[in-house]
Amino acid sequence: MRALSVLLFVAFAIYYCEGVAKTVCYYNHKAFKRDGTAKVGPEELKPALSMCTHLVYGFAGISDSGDYHIKSLDKELDTDKNKGKELFKQITALKTFQPNLNIMLSVGGFEDDDDKEKYLEVLDDPKYRKSFIETTVAALKKYGFNGLDLAWEFPVVTEKHESYTLGSIWHKIKKTVTGPKDDNPTLHREHFTLLIREMKAAFRAENFLLSASVLPHVNYTVYFDVPSITQHLDMITLHAYDFRTPQRNPKEADYSAPLHFVYGRVPHQNANAMVRWFIEHGVELQKLVLGIPTFGRSWLLEESSHKSGIPPLVADGAGEKGTITKEEGLLSYAEICPQLVSITNAQASPSLLRKQEDPQRRLGTYAFRLADKKLKQEYGTWVSFEEPETAGYKASYAKLAGLGGVAIIDLSLDDFRGMCNSNKFPILRAARTQFV
């Protein structure tokens, strides 16, 4: 009887650790190269790690020299110990600080810009898949990673403004893509399934984890054969953000990471539609992870933009660069929060961002600043962003839906120094609290 109790306890512990309460924390290595206090390296990550079950390092790529092996996208940073960096090993060494943390390497993620055709080519030939798998196993062992995340760079669909049902809109637009054109998506779906199956078989001897990321704007209804892959994957992470961005939609500012559909918008451009589709197609619920961004997407407003700030509204391209991200149209939460005032605050400076919350918990929070020639503000700003409150209710949604966890994408764009309210990583903290 005692032995049975022990076995039941062990079984429960395994189920809890592997099937419940995953908090998958992504880290983009580019943050290591930021200047001054904007830099995020292993030391800056440590306060977050007790809240993470997995740390995913992004991103590696694939060699386009004909042998299709996994490669670092920044050798000097990732693997060159002579430069005193070798960030791969610095990151995996964090397991000594947090022993239960699973640290994974992610490949692709739209960071591998050289010859995107290779992400289709490597699928099509068994010897290319074999080369990629063998070099991946060797790299994971060499640098101490616990597994791999396939953030595969399938062709993305272009923006369309028509409103159709979830199924028919993909049917309408799947042939119109940016980047490489895929003349045989059904074949690549089959070969991607083969890659996952073959990779998992190679991983078993080393007890490596294998996950897949569904990147924004990829036609997952074509490329992801859910019933065939779910049994071979430890996680499937939905990158449920960037449905609207200033790069794809420069003339129209709108919510970038809504949770639910609202009439008048494209039905599939929300997190719930992604979750629903995967559930309807047979995903193992405890392996499905909902991605939550830690950043905002910003647009420039001009004089013709209406004054209410209510989206969608006329815009004039990507917003100005932030002091941390230094990328047009992208602001970290730490860049946004110091500028926020209530939309009802009539005394607030017009140079600040007026925040409009989302009491219905469907679309998210936005903030805006109007153009004002008197203040020499030729352009205004409109930003759709994630904050602790919205991250919390997305995590609550994931928990109620029975999903396996949430993913924070990524740690370097959260408030990692506690500038907003003295709490470091508030978005991660809010999501973790609501899900566990």
pLDDT at 232 (0 to 100): 98
DSSP designation for 230: G
Angle between helices 185-204 and 126-143 (to 10 degrees): 40
- Rounded Cα distance between 241 and 384, Å, is 11
pLDDT at 2 (0 to 100): 41
pLDDT at 28 (0 to 100): 98
Residue 209 contacts residue 233 (beta carbons within 8 Å): no
pLDDT at 376 (0 to 100): 63
- Rounded Cα distance between 235 and 407, Å, is 11
- Rounded Cα distance between 312 and 184, Å, is 35
Residues of the chain falling short of pLDDT 50: 1-18, 162-179
pLDDT at 330 (0 to 100): 98
What is residue 411's three-state secondary structure? helix
- Rounded Cα distance between 256 and 336, Å, is 15
pLDDT at 83 (0 to 100): 72
What is residue 336's three-state secondary structure? helix
pLDDT at 138 (0 to 100): 98
Main-chain dihedrals φ then ψ at residue 148, nearest 5 degrees: -130, 145
pLDDT in tens, 215-238: 999 999 999 999 999 999 999 999
Locate all alpha helices (DSSP H) within 215-265, ordered by sequence: 220-223, 226-229
Residues 6+ apart with CB under 8 A from 387: 333, 336, 337, 365, 427
Burial of 71 (0-12, 13-18, 19+ CB in 10 A): buried
- Rounded Cα distance between 189 and 173, Å, is 17
DSSP per-residue letters across 417-429: T-TTTS-SSHHHH
Element housing 337 (H / E): none
- Rounded Cα distance between 199 and 129, Å, is 9
pLDDT at 20 (0 to 100): 57
Cα-based distances in Å from 63 to 27, 198, 349: 22, 19, 51
| CATH architecture for residues 22-157+185-295+386-435 | Alpha-Beta Barrel (3.20)
What is residue 14's three-state secondary structure? helix
- The reported pTM is 0.91
- Rounded Cα distance between 324 and 342, Å, is 24
Per DSSP (E only), the strands in 173-329 are 177-178, 209-214, 235-238, 252-253, 288-293, 295-301, 313-314
- Rounded Cα distance between 290 and 364, Å, is 15
Using alpha carbons, select from 261, 265, 335, 323 the residue that is nearest to residue 295: 335
pLDDT at 10 (0 to 100): 35
Output the six-digit token pair for 354: 């007026």
Residue 296 contacts residue 384 (beta carbons within 8 Å): yes
